[in-house]
Chain A
Amino acid sequence: MAITAFTGSATVQEVVPRKKSWVALVLLLPGLLYLVLFFLVPLVSLVITSLEVPSATTFGQYESAFNWQTYGTVVGQYGTQILRSFLYALLATVFALLFSYPLAYFIGVKARRWPILQGLMLVLVIAPFFISFLLRTLAWKAILSDDGVVVGALKALSLLGPQGHFTGTPAAVVFGLTYNFIPFMCLPLYTTLERLDLRYLEAGNDLYASPFHTFRTVTIPLSLPGIVSGTLLTFIPAAGDYVNASSEFLGGTSSTMIGNVIQSNFLVQLNYPAAAALSIILMAIILIIVSVYVKRSGTDDLL
C-alpha cells in the first residue's frame, strides 16, 4: 500500500453530496428576500431613473423615457471628477497599505508572545469606530485648519507659503481617506498575518534568503489574501466617498470627487437622471476594476 502513495498521480476529486433539501431553501429565503427588496429593486429603479427625461412643465419632475444620452453627457461633464475619485482612492489605498502592513505585522506576528499587548493594540485600531466617522473627520478639519498647529508648523518650516492652506487641498482629502480607512485595511491584514506560520520564514532563512528576501518571497505572498481583502475594503468605499472631499470637511472645489457630484445632483440640482447615471457608471467601473484585480492577484489558490 505504501508504494502506491508514491506512484499515485490520479487526481483527487472531492465528493460533494447532492442532497435536495428544502431546509436549505427555507434558510436562504430571508436573505434572498432582503436582497430583492433592498438591492435589486433600488438597482432597477436607479437604471430607470437614469434613462428619464425632464418634464416639460415642472422643474425637478421627470418622465420615463429611454434617454441613454444622459450617460454620455455626464461622462463629458464630470470626467475629471471620475478620474480624480479613482486616483484619490488609489492613493489612499496605497498609503493605508503602507501604514497598516507594519502595524498589522507587529500585532499579528511580533506581539504573539504577549496576548495582552496584542488585544490592546487591536482595540486601539478599532477604537476610532466608537466615534462617528463624521465627527472624526470634523476633528481633523479643526486640527488641519489654517490657524491650527499643523499648518503653523508647516509654515514655520516654509513647507507652506504664508497664505497657504491645508484643508481644501487634494492632499487633505487623500489624508482624510487614508485615515478613515486604515482600520478596514488593518483588520484583514491582521487576520492573515496572525495565522502566518513562522516556520515558513525559518525555512526561507534556511534556504539562503535574507530577511528582506524572505519577506518579499514568502511573507507577502502568504499574506496576499489579507492584502487583497484590505485593499478592496478600502478602495471601493473610498472611490465613492463624499464626506472627506466635501468642502464642509476636508475638501474644496479643486478636490471634488464623484460622490460629491452625485450628492449635489440628487439633493441640490435635483437632476435625478444625471445622478443615477453617474452612480451606475461608478458601480460599473468599480466592478470591472475589482474583478480584474481579484483575477490578477490569483488569491483563490490561497483562500
Chain B
Amino acid sequence: MATSSFADAGADLELVGIHKRFPGFTAIENLNLTVPAGSFFALLGPSGCGKTTTLRLVAGLEEPTAGQILIGGKDVTSTKPFQRPVNTVFQSYALFPHMTVIENVAFGLRRRHVGDPIAKAHEALRLVELDHLAARRPQQLSGGQQQRVALARAVVNRPALLLLDEPLGALDLKLRRQMQLELKTIQTEVGLTFVHVTHDQEEAMTMADTVAVMNKGEIEQLGAPEDLYELPRTVFVANFLGQSNLFTGIVSETTSDTIAVDVGGNRIVVPKSRAARHTGKVTLGVRPEKLSLLTTKPEAVAGRNVIGAGRVIDVSFSGVSTQYIVEVPSVGPIVVFAQNLVFGPVVDRGAEVWLSWNVDHGFGLADDPEAGPRFPSDDDTVSIATQKRTELAVELED
C-alpha cells in the first residue's frame, strides 16, 4: 500500500473539473482548484455552498460525478478512502465511543502497522496537551477536548493532506479563538497541507494562507486573506467577507489609469487596476473603516473621493470603534466605522456630514449591475413566486 509510510511533507491537492450531482440538485459545478503543498487553505462559504461536499470528495467519502482529484500529482479519483493519504477531522469528531482516547489516536497507526503505535499516539496527545486523559473514554471529555483528540487522531498519521470539516463549529467563541491559534501552530510545526472548511470568515482570514470563497457550488474568488478583503471581485465576496458599501453608477470619464463614476451626482474615482469593469454601468465599493467622517465640506483634492452632504441616522458604540450610518440623498445609507480616538462618538444623530476616502481604497466589482442577481436568492418568497410564474408561463407556451 502506498500509504504505509509517513508523509515527510504535505502534498499538493488538485481538483480538475469536478462536478457532483445528487438526485435532485447539483452540489458542485465545474470546480477547479489547486492547493499548494504545505499551505493552510480555507474553503469559506455559507452553508449549502458545497464546501463540505468538496471535502468529502477529497476524502473519498463521496464520488465525483465527473472530474479528477489529484493528491501529490497522483490521480486518486477512483481510490477508496482508506487507501488515500488523507485524514479528516470530522465536524462531529466521530471519536469511537467504544475505545479509550489513546486507542482512538492509535487506530490509524495500528491499521497501517506502524511500529510502536501507543508511544506515537502519546506523542500526538502531548502535542494537543491531552496526554493526561489518554485512558478516558471520549464521552467523558468536554467538546474542546474531544475536538483536540480528533485532531491528534488525524495528525498522528502524518497524512499528506489533512482535512478539517468545521471542527471548531461546536465550540464557544473563546475556546474557538484558542483552538484557531493552536491549529495554526500545529500546522506550522508539522508542515502538512491543511484544507479547512468553514463558514466563519474571521476564522478563515486569521488561519489560512489562502482562502477560497465558495458560493452555490462555485469558487467566487481565491487568494490571500488580505487580497480578498482589500480587493473583492464580486458583490458576494464583498459582503460575505466583512462589510462593504456598494454604489452603482455609470462611468462618466476615463483616464489612462483611473475611471470616474457618477453616483447620484457624486464623482467617485477608482484606479483602473482595482476595477474589474471599465465601461457602462458598474458597481463600486469601499470598506466602512476606510471612510472618514467630516463635519465640514472638504475642499476637492486629487486622490480623495467625497460624498455628501448626508445625515447621520444611526450611531452605535462598540468599544474599539463606533458605527455610523449615514443617509446620503440619491446614494442610500452608508456605513462608517470610526476608531474611537476620543471618548465617545464624534458626531450625534442628525448631524450633517461628508464622507471622504482615498481613491486607492475603492474597488470596482466584476458583477454586471444590469443583469440583476446572478443567483436568485432562494429564501425570498417574492423570488420564489416570480420563478414559479415564469416556469408556469414557459409550460403554458409549450
Please report A residues at the B interface, Cβ cutoff 8 Å.
1-2, 5-6, 8-9, 12, 197, 199-200, 202-211, 213-214, 217-218, 221-222, 224, 301-302
Which of B60, B61, B98 has the most chain A CB atoms closer than 10 A to its own CB? B98
Is B59 in contact with A6, judged by CB distance below 8 angstroms? Answer: no
Q: How far apart are the CA atoms of A206 and B161 in the complex, in Å?
A: 12
A207 touches B87 (CB 8 A): yes
Which residues of B line the A interface, CB within 8 A?
3, 59-61, 80-83, 86-88, 90, 92, 94-98, 107-108, 111-112, 129-130, 132-133, 137, 140, 142, 144-145, 153, 157, 172, 174-175, 178
Decide: A202 and B174 in contact? CB cutoff 8 A.
no
Among B90, B111, B174, which residue has its beta carbon within 8 angstroms of that of A209? B111
Q: Per a CB cutoff under 8 Å, which of A1, A8, A207 touches B111? A: A207
With beta carbons under 8 angstroms apart, the residue of B80, B98, B107 that contacts A301 is B98
B175, A207: Cβ atoms closer than 8 Å: no
Query: Are the C-beta atoms of B133 and A9 separated by less than 8 Å?
Result: yes
**Selected A-B contacts with CB under 8 Å, 21 pairs:** A2-B172, A2-B174, A5-B175, A6-B144, A6-B145, A8-B142, A12-B140, A199-B90, A200-B94, A200-B97, A205-B60, A206-B82, A207-B111, A207-B153, A207-B157, A209-B82, A213-B111, A214-B82, A218-B98, A301-B137, A302-B97
Closest partner residue, chain A, to B172 (CB atom): A2
Distance in Å from the Cβ of A279 to the closest Cβ of chain B? Answer: 38
For residue B151, give the distance in angstroms from its CB to the closest CB of chain A: 13
Residues of chain B lying within 8 A (CB to CB) of residue A224: 98
Instruction: Check B178 against A202 for contact (C-beta < 8 Å).
Output: no
- Given contacts A199-B94, A202-B94, A208 and B129 within 8 Å (CB-CB): no
Interface centre among A6, A9, A207 (most CB of B within 10 A): A207
Partner of A206, one of B59, B98, B112, B174: B59
A5 contacts B98, C-beta separation under 8 Å: no
**Taking A207-B107, A221-B98, A302-B98 as contacts, is the C-beta distance between A202 and B144 under 8 angstroms?**
no
9 more A-B contacts (CB under 8 A) besides A205-B60, A207-B87? A6-B130, A200-B96, A203-B96, A206-B81, A206-B82, A206-B87, A207-B82, A207-B107, A301-B137
How close is B99's CB to chain A, nearest CB, in angstroms?
Answer: 8
CA distance A202 to B82 in the complex (A): 9
A207 touches B108 (CB 8 A): yes
A2 touches B87 (CB 8 A): no
Q: Residue among A199, A203, A208 with the most chain B CB within 10 A?
A: A208
Name A's interface SS: helix
**A205, A222, A224, A302 — which one has the most chain B CB atoms within 10 A of its CB?**
A205
A205 touches B61 (CB 8 A): yes
B186 to chain A: closest CB distance in Å? 15
B142 near A202: Cβ-Cβ < 8 Å: no
Q: Which of B88, B94, B144 contacts A5 (CB 8 A)?
A: B144
A298's nearest neighbour on chain B, judged by CB, is B98
Contacts A202-B94, A302-B98; is A208 near B108 (CB within 8 Å)? Answer: yes
Query: In the complex the two chains form, what is the Cα distance from A210 to B130 in whole Å?
Result: 28
The distance from the CB of B340 to the nearest CB of chain A, in whole angstroms, is 27
CA distance A203 to B90 in the complex (A): 8
Q: Which of B92, B98, B140 contacts A222 (CB 8 A)?
A: B98
Known contacts A200-B94, A301-B98: does B86 contact A206 (CB below 8 Å)? yes
Q: With A and B bound together, what is the CA distance between A116 and B153 in angstroms?
A: 38
CB-CB under 8 A from A5, the residues of chain B are: 142, 144-145, 175
Cα(A217)–Cα(B96), bound, Å:
10
Return chain A residues, CB-CB under 8 Å to B98.
218, 221-222, 224, 301-302
B129 touches A202 (CB 8 A): no
Give the complex CA separation of A123 and B63 in angstroms.
34
Which residues in A have their C-beta under 8 angstroms from that of B130? 6
| Chain A residues with CB under 8 A of B94 | 197, 199-200, 202-203
CB pair A208–B82 under 8 Å, yes or no, is yes
Distance in angstroms between the alpha carbons of A221 and B107 in the assembled complex: 14
A270 to B112, CA, bound (A): 65
Cβ-closest 3 pairs across A and B? A207-B108, A203-B94, A208-B111
Report whether A205 and B82 are in contact in the complex, using a CB–CB cutoff of 8 Å.
Answer: yes
Chain A residues with Cβ under 8 A from B112's Cβ? Answer: 208
User: Please, which residues of chain A bring their CB within 8 A of the CB of B174?
Assistant: 1-2
The docked-state distance in angstroms from the alpha carbon of A256 to that of B132 is 58
Least Cβ–Cβ distance between A76 and chain B, in angstroms = 45
With a cutoff of 8 Å between Cβ atoms, the chain B residues found around residue A221 in the complex are 98
In the assembled complex, the CB of A24 is this many whole angstroms from the nearest CB of chain B, namely 29
- Closest partner residue, chain A, to B103 (CB atom): A217
Inter-subunit contact A6/B172 (CB<8 Å): no
Quote the shortest CB–CB distance from B348 to chain A (angstroms).
38
